[in-house]
Amino acid sequence: MRKIVVTSGKGGVGKTTVTATLGRKLAKLGYRVVLIDGDVGLNNLDVVTAIERRVVYDMSDVLAGKCRAFQALVSDTQSPMKILPSSKDSTLLTAQAFRGIVDGFSDFDFVIIDCPAGIEHGFHRAVSAADEALVVTTPSASAIRDADKVIALLSGYRLADVSLVVNRIRADMVVRGEMIGASEIGSLLHTPPIGVIPEDDMITLYQQLGSSPQNCVSDRAYDVLADNVANRTKNFVDIGFRRRFWKWR
């Protein structure tokens, strides 16, 4: 079982979308995947995956003994992936209790935790349950600065790997020198990027439907990310220099 936390220093960088889409890609590759919404109070993983109307139990019910963890899982609508909805109440959700829930899914190949944005208590609770981390950032200066703070905090944990996902890249702007490229962001943060996701208007549209768009500009990018995660590789295509790559697919 691989336990991966998907985190970011700043909200609004697409962390939950990356979590959901990566999970679906891995599940479609044949891996047993469960997503855990670790964001108490500001959770929206159930909305992004369109399962909010089918939630019967959540994490707080598991902690209160009202159900077992596997009974609270909700099946994804687009893949064999399972989702554990966030808790409505944080009083029982200690770091130890959260780790117990995560470790209980040992039958799965991947447990992917959607971490709360920022570096408060919820961040540390989620990271303490993981063995690996994916840090999501956009090319904006504020997002990169916050990602740098998160990576510094992650160094204090015994994680087997910390990698970077650069989201919402505009290849045309990178080429014109109007946006920093993924390679340079990776160099600034001293963290290898294993996913470079281009700006994609279809993502915003499909988020309202709770599904992942197929054959869109970002689809191939997520294939590369999933392949890197599955095989523990660090290959990526910097779309600032390979613009036509995405048009071929």
150: closest CA among 199, 115, 187, 180?
115
The predicted pLDDT at position 201 comes to 76
Quickly list H helices, 158-236: 171-175, 182-189, 201-207, 219-231
The predicted pLDDT at position 87 comes to 79
User: Distance between CA atoms of 30 and 27, rounded to whole angstroms?
Assistant: 5
Q: In degrees rounded to 5, what are phi and psi of residue 90?
A: -95, -5
Beta bridge partners of 4: 112, 132
Q: Is 52 exposed, middle or buried (0-12, 13-18, 19+ CB in 10 A)?
A: middle
The predicted pLDDT at position 210 comes to 60
- Distance of alpha carbon 222 from its chain centroid, rounded? 11
136: closest CA among 173, 200, 78, 189?
189
User: Distance between CA atoms of 221 and 118, rounded to whole angstroms?
Assistant: 26
Q: Is 176 exposed, middle or buried (0-12, 13-18, 19+ CB in 10 A)?
A: exposed
Beta bridge partners of 114: 6, 37
- 12 phi-psi bin (left φ>0, alpha ψ -120 to 50, beta other): left
* Pairing outcome for strands 110-114 and 132-137: unpaired
Grouped pLDDT means (10 residues each) for the chain, 249 residues: 94 92 96 94 84 92 93 94 86 90 97 90 94 97 96 96 95 89 94 92 64 75 96 81 39
Sheet holding 33-37, edge to edge: 74-75, 82-84, 33-37, 110-114, 2-7, 132-137, 161-169, 193-198
7: closest CA among 122, 96, 102?
122
